[in-house]
Amino acid sequence: MLPKLAGVFVLAGFSLTLGAVATVSAASDEVPFPDGFRDWFAVNSMIVTKDSPLSAQIGGLHIVYVNAKGLPLLKTSGPFPYPDGTVFADDVHDFSVKDGSYVEGTKKAVTAMVKDSKKYAATGGWGFQVWAGGDPAKPLIPDTAHAIQACFVCHSPQQAQDYVFSTYIP
Amino acid sequence: MLPKLAGVFVLAGFSLTLGAVATVSAASDEVPFPDGFRDWFAVNSMIVTKDSPLSAQIGGLHIVYVNAKGLPLLKTSGPFPYPDGTVFADDVHDFSVKDGSYVEGTKKAVTAMVKDSKKYAATGGWGFQVWAGGDPAKPLIPDTAHAIQACFVCHSPQQAQDYVFSTYIP
């Protein structure tokens, strides 16, 4: 089991990523790439450093986005669950540290959680995917079994808010 | 002179902020609060820690936004200057560090740079303001002289990209 992180984030683990493992040609659970997510609502940001036990899985500077479908419920913090069609995307970048400031670098990965309560019933109604380098042609999670291991295990403790770490921070 | 930060950010210094100094009742340069900026395009994120020489001025977790007027030129990285009406906003939050992860906390301040090449000619065509706690009723920069000291001095080295630190990071 991956270590748990108490926080406010959508965390889709990507221990399968970062070069060592070949990408899959087609994700069997068919989670679509979150096209245009940079124009969505920016929910929050976080940095996972090399000092974190999750560094290998999710190290980097994160900015989490939510699409218009999920935004109202995020802002009211419920009532859960999120409606089908909700998508959270996490834009993960490298970062550098200079004189005590952590500065955003190049894109490392994009992750997504897509809500479809029937299609993804085995993982809380969420489909999970990670794309290496944020490239839509490079999904890294081949099937539901891997999604459970790489993503859902960490999200499970968040069941009370529909498996989502992120909260709205005014 | 404040120390310089090599980076990719809009930094509006707020050495006047953070409780010790009373807020001004009306900012003489009348920079408007960036209403609705949370729905704008999120440009990038950064964390300035207590180890930074800029910690007292701009410590916190930053997410920088740009309005629709400035977005096209941000994405093409020029040609500068930004058009009048461009606004950058910086949403500055406290953060906590837990197990090597830097997690966003409550709002600390909101800053803005508003482009009006005539009105703000003395400061590169940009009006600068900082609002304590992100409260539109609590601007902290009383006049242009203070804007120069608290904001423009640090932004001056960025003249080649119209005094803006932020760049588009795909």
Which residue among A6, A53, A61 places its CB closest to the CB of B45?
A: A61
Which residue among A45, A49, A99 places its CB closest to the CB of B104?
A: A45
List chain A residues with CB under 8 Å of B63: 42, 44-45, 63
Q: Which two tokens stand for residue B47?
A: 């964390």
Which residue among B45, B48, B61 places its CB closest to the CB of A100?
A: B48
Here the ipTM equals: 0.86
Tell me the pTM.
0.87
For A2-33, write each residue's pLDDT tens digit: 333 433 333 444 444 433 445 554 444 589 99
Q: Digits of tens for pLDDT over chain A (170 positions)?
A: 333 343 333 344 444 443 344 555 444 458 999 999 999 999 999 999 999 999 999 999 999 999 999 999 999 999 999 999 999 999 999 999 999 999 999 999 999 999 999 999 999 999 999 999 999 999 999 999 999 999 999 999 999 999 999 999 99
**Is residue B7 pLDDT above 90, yes or no?**
no
User: Could you tell me which chain A residue has the CA closest to the CA of B42?
Assistant: A42
| pLDDT of A9 | 38
Q: Mean per-residue pLDDT for B162-169?
A: 98
Q: Burial-class residue B25 by CB neighbours within 10 Å (0-12, 13-18, 19+).
A: exposed
User: Could you tell me which chain A residue has the CA closest to the CA of B60?
Assistant: A101
H-helix or E-strand containing B73?
Answer: helix B71-76
Instruction: Identify from B9, B38, B47 which residue to disrupt to test chain A contact, counting A C-beta atoms within 10 A and taking the largest count.
Output: B47
| pLDDT of A29 | 56
Q: Which residue pairs from B122-126 have beta carbons closer than 8 angstroms and sit at least 24 positions apart in sequence?
A: B122/B148, B123/B147, B123/B148, B123/B151, B123/B152, B124/B152, B124/B155, B124/B156, B124/B159, B124/B162, B124/B163, B125/B81, B125/B84, B125/B162, B125/B163, B126/B152, B126/B155, B126/B163
- What residues in chain B have their Cβ under 8 A from chain A's Cβ atoms? 3, 5-9, 38-39, 41-42, 44-55, 61, 63, 65, 93, 98-107, 169-170
Q: Mean per-residue pLDDT for B151-166?
A: 97
| pLDDT of A157 | 97
Which residue among B44, B51, B104 places its CB closest to the CB of A46?
A: B104
Cβ separation of A42 and B47 shorter than 8 Å?
no
**What is the total residue count of chain A?**
170
Residue B24's pLDDT band (cuts 50, 70, 90): low
**Is residue B156 pLDDT above 80, yes or no?**
yes
User: Could you tell me which chain A residue has the CA closest to the CA of B51?
Assistant: A100
- Cβ-Cβ contacts under 8 Å between A and B: the total is 106
Residue B92's pLDDT band (cuts 50, 70, 90): very high
Cβ separation of A98 and B6 shorter than 8 Å?
yes
Which residue among B38, B53, B101 places its CB closest to the CB of A5?
A: B101
User: Could you tell me which chain B residue has the CA closest to the CA of A110?
Assistant: B170
Residues facing residue A89 across a β-bridge: A65, A112
Neighbours of B43 (CB within 10 A): 29
Q: Which two tokens stand for residue A102?
A: 């952590």
Q: Which two tokens stand for residue A15?
A: 């221990």
Q: Is the peptide bond before A34 cis (omega within 30 degrees of 0)?
A: no
Which of B118 and B28 is assigned the larger pLDDT? B118
CA proximity to A10, closest of A142, A110, A134, A117: A110
